[in-house]
A and B are shown apart, each in its own frame.
Chain A
Amino acid sequence: GQNIDQPTEMTATEGAIVQINCTYQTSGFNGLFWYQQHAGEAPTFLSYNVLDGLEEKGRFSSFLSRSKGYSYLLLKELQMKDSASYLCAVLGGATNKLIFGTGTLLAVQP
């Protein structure tokens, strides 16, 4: 079976750092994606990890541990515009299907 877990909601303060965790169990693994989705808009690509370790891209970083089935998205210097849903998605299966988690709704407060 395939299962992706991430917290439903998180709250953080403007200027702070927040870590959004994602654990997964999938048949086959070809990488893990993080997408950002503002309310009423399409998901936009943030990061892709296929090897263990940390990938840094500006204020956003993503970490992967394949042996633990675990990833996190780290957001630094939070801004109000970072308030959105963050979707963890694993690429796997026989047809390289992208399986999404339910998303973590992040609220950034002043």
Chain B
Amino acid sequence: EAGVAQSPRYKIIEKRQSVAFWCNPISGHATLYWYQQILGQGPKLLIQFQNNGVVDDSQLPKDRFSAERLKGVDSTLKIQPAKLEDSAVYLCASSPGELYETQYFGPGTRLLVL
């Protein structure tokens, strides 16, 4: 079974530029998550989708971050404009969509903002 796919794996941009990340969850998984992991910290949930609807985006900085999951499968996370403090690993995870389910993580996108 293929795992969660993410691209790109690495991205370097300058502050105030825009960047987008892509995620393809495990086939059949209804729930998709985007996390931000700053070096030395645990992942922090940015947004959670159930199919193509948003369940929780309370920690998403909506003035600069946006995410969508069209058709309830792939998802993109965008940052516009980027700040230095956005330098982090952006992890995508998916789960079947049932209660108390295990989340499976992709390899992440490592973002460096200069």
Residues of A within 8 A of B (CB): 4, 30-31, 33, 35, 40-45, 48, 50, 87, 89, 91, 95-103
Contacts and interface: CB of A to CB of B under 8 A. Distances in A.
Interface of B: 4, 33, 40-45, 48, 55-56, 91, 99-100, 102-108, 110
B107 A42 contact: yes
A45 B99 contact: no
Given A42-B108, A45-B104, 10 more contacts: A4-B42, A31-B100, A33-B102, A42-B4, A43-B43, A44-B105, A89-B42, A97-B56, A100-B43, A103-B42
A30 B99 CA distance: 9
B48 A95 contact: yes
Given A48-B102, A95-B48, A41 B107 contact: yes
Nearest to B108: A42
6 contacts: A42-B4, A42-B106, A48-B102, A95-B56, A102-B41, A103-B42
Instruction: Tell me whether chain B's interface is mostly helix, strand or loop, or mixed.
Output: loop
Contacts of A95: 48, 55-56
Given A42-B91, A103-B42, A98 B100 contact: no
Nearest to A87: B42
